[in-house]
Structures are given as C-alpha cells and as structure tokens.
Amino acid sequence: MHIGVIGATGTIGSRVVAEALGRGHHVTAFSRDATRIEEARANVTWKSVDVLDAAGVAGVLPGLDVLISGFQPGNGARDIADTVRRSIADPTVHATVARALVKALESHPRTRLIVIGGAGSLEIEPGLVLADSDERLHGILAALGLPEEYAAAVRGGRDALNVLRQSNRLWTYFSPAQDIAPGERTGRFRIGGDQPVVDADGRSRISAEDAAVALVDEAELPRFVQRRFTVGY
C-alpha cells in the first residue's frame, strides 16, 4: 500500500511510519517543513504540507491509499509543554483541521482517512463522554500531569470527531487509550468502539508502538469506516 502520514515526526506518527515500512508499505511522510528531515530509510518520501490548507492537502492525495493524520499543534515528541500550551491557546484547531481534511477528500473520495484523535470523546457511561464530565476529566488530566485548562483541548478533539461524523467521506477516528506513551511493541491489545478499553487495574493505557500497530492494521484491513475505534491493554 501507499500510506500518507501527517505529523510523521510526532510520537505516534513516527511510529506509524516505522510500522508501515516494516510491513513493506511505501510511506509519504508529511511535516510542516520536510526540508529539515534527514532520511536514510527506503520506501519513504518526505513532503511538506500545511494541514490547514485543504487545497494543499488535496494536492498530495493522488496515489495514496490511506492518509493517516497525527496532527498536533507544535511537535509533541520534542516539546510536549509547547504542544500543551498551543492546544490550550486554540482548542478549535482540531475541528478546523478535520474540516480541512474532509474538504480535501471531496476531490479524492476513494482515499481513506484515519484521524488520530483523543480519548476525551469516549463514553464513560452510556450517553456521557469524558469531555462532558468536568470532574472525571480534571481527575484524569491531573493523573497525567496535565493542567485543568487542557480540558478545552480535549473538547476540541471531541468536536473534530463530530465534524467527521457529519461527513460522508471514508473516515475513521482513532481514540487511543487515556494513558499513551512510548514503550514496547507487543502486538497484543484489545480493540473497542466508543468505550475505553481498561486493564485489570481499571487503567486505560497503550504504548505508542502498539497504537501504531493498531493504526496500520486498520489501514491494511478496514473495520471501522465511518466509525471510531479505540485500543487498550
């Protein structure tokens, strides 16, 4: 396959690139400024793209089977504090990006889109998503070492999912576990839909490496077209 990855230098995006290459796919890796990327691996091409520019995104879609968007404000892999600040400053950016991606796909309706979102839109009980419960959300943010103000960014991720849900494009939304960080690639995890997947201790967690496995699995064998899915141990 030919897989495009937006945010290919990020924590999850970089691991998606590695996972896809390891399975023999060709990858076009997108960054805000690809001229600074030094790349020695085969079957990967780096290109610059502005994810807020729908026409620009449409221009890089020809030839891609799937576009995976791991967009985050700033570069969370290098400076998570900056990403947090940017996310708080403009919590609408995720919905804005979702609209740009949907617009870009209008001219390429057969290209599939997988958006890496957040866990805040997962249901914590029937009909109630985490983003709508300040008490639960603030508690989880505190446990993750994030400020309460980041709740606005979490709601922005929920809004991005709602943008996709109003689209008839071939989209998939991926909500990782609440606790996601670099770790081990095990290839062993469970898949869920709209509710978090928790372990025996009640924790919703996944490594970035296993999140990448789940994303490339979905790229290869789509199971959640026009749906959201999540993973966890």
| pLDDT tens digits, one per residue of 106-161 | 999 999 999 999 988 999 888 888 888 888 889 988 988 889 999 999 999 999 99
Name 69's bridge partners. 6, 115
Share of the chain above pLDDT 90, in %: 73
Question: Strands 66-69 and 112-116: what pairing?
Answer: parallel
* d(C-alpha 6, C-alpha 57), whole Å: 10
Tokens of 64: 């891609």
Q: Predicted confidence band at 84 (pLDDT cuts at 50, 70, 90)?
A: confident
% of the chain surpassing 70 pLDDT: 99
pLDDT band at 36 (very low <50, low <70, confident <90, very high): confident
Q: What is the mean pLDDT of the chain?
A: 93
Residue 76 pLDDT? 67
Residue 226's identity, in one-letter code, is Q
Model confidence pLDDT, tens digit, residues 204-227:
999 999 999 999 999 999 999 999
Who wins on pLDDT, 101 or 134? 101
Structure-block tokens of residue 177: 């576990």
- pLDDT value of position 134: 85
Structure confidence at residue 73 as a pLDDT band (50, 70, 90):
confident
Q: What is the token pair recorded at 47? A: 């290109």
Tell if the pTM clears 0.85, that is, is over it: yes
- pLDDT tier at 170 (50, 70, 90 boundaries)? very high
Position 169 confidence tier, pLDDT thresholds 50, 70, 90? very high
The CA-based diameter of the chain, rounded to the nearest angstrom, is 48
Q: What is the pLDDT of residue 205?
A: 95
pLDDT at residue 82 in the model: 83
For residues 166-180, average pLDDT: 95
Q: Which of 74-88, 90-104, 159-173 has the lowest mean pLDDT?
A: 74-88
Tokens 């404000």 correspond to 73
- If you average pLDDT over residues 6-14, what whole number do you get? 94
Non-local (6+) Cβ contacts of 209 within 8 A are: 15, 19, 182, 183, 184, 185, 186
Using CA atoms, how far apart are residues 155 and 159, in angstroms rounded to an integer?
6
Q: Output the 3-class SS for the chain.
A: CEEEEECCCCHHHHHHHHHHHHCCCEEEEEECCHHHCCCCCCCEEEEECCCCCHHHHHHHCCCCCEEEECCCCCCCCCCHHHHHHHHHHCCCHHHHHHHHHHHHHCCCCCCEEEEECCCCCCEEECCEEHHHCHHHHHHHHHHCCCCHHHHHHHHHHHHHHHHHHCCCCCEEEEECCCEEECCCCCCCCEEECCCCCCCCCCCCEEEHHHHHHHHHHHHHCCCCCCEEEEEEC
Asked if 41 and 19 touch (Cβ cutoff 8 Å), the reply is no
Q: Residue 98: is its pLDDT beyond 90?
A: yes
